[in-house]
Amino acid sequence: MSANQLALWYLVASVLFILALKGLSSPVAARRGNLFGMIGMAIAVLVTLAITKKVAFILIAAVIGGMIGAFVARRVQMTQMPQLVAAMHSLVGMAAVLIAVAVVNNPAAFGEHDPLPGGNRFELFIGSFVGAITFSGSVIAFGKLAGLGKMFRLFSSAPVVYKGQHPLNLILAIVMIGFGVAFFLAEGKAWTPFLVMLAIAFALGVLIIIPIGGADMPVVISMLNSYSGWAAAGIGFSLNNSMLIIAGSLVGSSGAILSYIMCKAMNRSFISVIMGGFGAAEGAAAAGSADKTVRSGSAEDASFLLANAESVVIVPGYGLAVARAQHAVKEMAQKLIAKGVNVRYAIHPVAGRMPGHMNVLLAEAEVPYDQVFEMEDINGELGTTDVVLVLGANDVVNPLAHEKGSPIYGMPIIEAHKARTVLVNKRSMAAGYAGLDNPLFYMDKTMMVFGDAKKVVEDLVKALE
Amino acid sequence: MTGAIDPTIVNLVVFVLAVFVGYHVIWNVTPALHTPLMSVTNAISSVIIVGAILAAGPYETDFGAILGAVAVGLAAVNVFGGFLVTQRMLEMFKKKAPKAEKEKA
């Protein structure tokens, strides 16, 4: 196969990748899109195999990896998706680093000049350091998301902060770039600056992720998604491979947009998320709440209100995902629908532990997606809703977001306070992630149902029988 | 203006245009499918496997070729894992009459 033919096949694959992403604009088109993606990948791999010499050797590696991937894809639980995605980011990063090392070792294998020209070395430097940061950062993110904090302190889901953290990271970044420039300027293979640069990049990946934790994880995971794409694009530059550049750029911009959406939904700037340390003083109830009274009730009281409502909107939050109560919620909703209640779900963009996580959790529980609404689509209807049931959410329904001067002013919220009656399930009166008191809990029309989300919802199901 | 265009410039052109395409395509993704988006982008960025195949490809199996083979394995985990888990998630969104709503988003 000529280089031109190869490039044309790669073009076909690139277009198929774009179509795969385009399909995700609706659930129906998405399945066809995914198929396009698979076909694109098959084309890319097959035409590349056709120009290599040791097909069997490569296929063995691919089959081993493919079997592991297929096994994991089949067995993973939907609650574990954030960890899985983090693990996958780390693999992309590591693959980028390994390829970069192989290019330095033997540029001729990639059709490059030996020794590698300066321009390619510069691109290789970018691709490999982004890859290294993606790898080690994603490993830390994986540990945090999988809750391995007890095994290893750096995996702690609480932010790890220490004095001089940011200056240290900055110095390391400058030193890393210094070695990268040395690699770029050096003659021949220049292993020393290249490997030192890589080692610093691996360390940096760990250091920039450990201070970020708690509810900021959706941003971290989107950010690493973006990095993994830029790493692939960087490798594409150094190999002069348009398909890799296109695929990498698509993924890079996708991750960047998701990070932006997540930051906006949390009313946080990207910089402040990266600086980390937020939520370290979690659990401290805001001052001034002692003199206010809340009305609390049992699951039976709540079930009475729900069963007599005409319309119910369920607001599932992080707490629901933690308690893994989504199947119980579905069961409860079915019971209500059987009684003629109009049940819908309102999803805040940062509900769950990664972008869109709550939608997948509800879909897994077989909640029909036409009952599930995005925040902006349902907010207008909450004023005429009889009961809003808030499950394990706090800041995303805090009406303080509408009050000038409050720390969360401007944050988009689900306007639960507009409903006729509000039921809130929480484990305690502790403040949410933003450390703020929530006036919603003290409203006359609000009834609190304390307890673990799963336990409470199961009690509701029983009470509805 | 004489001489051939440097490949880096060509790469840059491709890169900038691809970022534009990515920007517009991704904003059209419905928020309900952001998790499948992340898993499928993982699979797509694993097209880096073609670089790994080239690394593993030369006649003599030196350490670079070994690293290449390892990279092929790692990327293959993502290629299969990413597409299959995306498919699995999208199947969940199929259950119960998928009527043509969701238009307003």
3-state secondary structure of A146: coil
CB atoms inside a 10 Å sphere around CB A280: 13
Percent of residues, chain A, with pLDDT higher than 90: 42
User: Residues of A numbered 364-383 whose beta carbons fall under 8 angstroms of chain B's beta carbons: which are they?
Assistant: 364, 366, 368-370, 372, 374, 377
Considering only CB atoms, A73 lies closest to which of B19, B45, B88, namely B88
Strands of A139-285, DSSP E: none
**DSSP element (H, E) containing A191:** helix A191-209
Q: Of B14, B79, B88, which has the smallest distance from its Cβ to A69's Cβ?
A: B79
Q: What is the mean pLDDT of residues A126-140?
A: 95
Question: What is the C-alpha to C-alpha distance for residues B20 and A395, in angstroms, rounded to an integer?
Answer: 34
Q: Check whether A271 has a pLDDT greater than 90.
A: no
Confidence at residue B101, expressed as pLDDT on a 0 to 100 scale: 44
Which pLDDT score is estimated for A288? 46
If you count them, how many residues does chain B have? 105
Residue B97 touches chain A, beta carbons under 8 Å: yes
Q: Average pLDDT, whole number, for chain B?
A: 86
Q: Give B45's pLDDT tier (boundaries 50, 70, 90).
A: very high
Least confident range of A21-35, A126-140, A389-403: A389-403
- Give residue-wise pLDDT tens across range A343-397: 999 999 888 788 888 999 888 888 888 899 999 889 888 888 999 999 888 888 8
As a whole number of angstroms, the distance between CA A59 and CA B25 comes to: 33
Q: Do B19 and A249 touch (CB under 8 A)?
A: yes
Least confident of A168-172, A281-285, A295-299, A310-314: A281-285
pLDDT at position A439: 87
A395 included as an active-site residue: yes
Q: Which of A43, A88, A36 is nearest to B75 (CA)?
A: A88
Q: Do A99 and B52 touch (CB under 8 A)?
A: yes
Q: Which residues of A168-186 are buried (b: 16+ CB within 10 A; e: fewer)?
A: ebeebbeebeebbebbbeb
Q: Which residue has the tokens 């030196």?
A: B62
| pLDDT value, residue A281 | 41
Largest Cα separation within chain B, whole Å, is 63
Could you tell me the pLDDT band of residue A279, with boundaries at 50, 70 and 90?
A: very low
Average pLDDT of every residue of chain A = 87
Query: Confidence band (pLDDT; 50, 70, 90) for B95?
Result: low
Chain segment A424-462, per-residue pLDDT in tens: 988 877 776 666 788 888 888 899 988 888 888 999 888
**Residues for chain A: how many in total?**
465
Q: Determine the Cα–Cα distance for residues A388 and A345; give it in Å rounded to an integer.
A: 9
Q: Which residues pair with A421 in a beta bridge?
A: A387
Taking the CA of residue A421 as centre, how many other CA atoms within 13 Å lie in the half-sphere pointing to its CB? 19
Task: Quote the minimal CA–CA distance from A245 to chain B in Å.
Answer: 6
Above 70 in pLDDT, residue A122? yes
- Ordered DSSP codes for A36-74: HHHHHHHHHHHHHHHT-S-HHHHHHHHHHHHHHHHHHHH
Using 50, 70 and 90 to split pLDDT, how confident is the model at B96?
low
Predicted ipTM of the assembly: 0.89
Cβ atoms of A251 and A235 within 8 Å: the answer is no
For chain A positions 342-361, those within 8 Å of chain B (CB to CB) are 347, 349, 354-357, 359-360
Over residues A313-340, the mean pLDDT reads: 87
User: By the 8 A CB rule, do A232 and A369 touch?
Assistant: no
With an 8 Å Cβ cutoff, is B9 touching chain A?
no
**Of A273, A271, A274, A231, the residue nearest A251 (C-alpha):** A231
Does residue A227 register a pLDDT over 60?
Answer: yes
Mean pLDDT over A62-80 rounds to 93
Q: What is the mean pLDDT of residues A186-192?
A: 82
The neighbour count for residue A194, using CB atoms within 10 Å, is: 23
Residue of B nearest to A29 (CA): B90
Indicate the residue of A34, A95, A241 with minimum beta-carbon distance to B74. Answer: A95
Residue B59 pLDDT > 70, yes or no? Answer: no
* Catalytic residue (one of A395, A437, A444, A452): A395
**Token couple for A296:** 């609390």
* Cβ pair B71, B52 in contact under 8 A: yes
Lowest average pLDDT, out of A114-118, A203-207, B33-37, B101-105, goes to B101-105
Cβ contacts of A85 on chain B, cutoff 8 Å: 35, 38-39, 42
Judging by DSSP bridges, how do beta strands A311-316 and A387-391 pair with one another? parallel
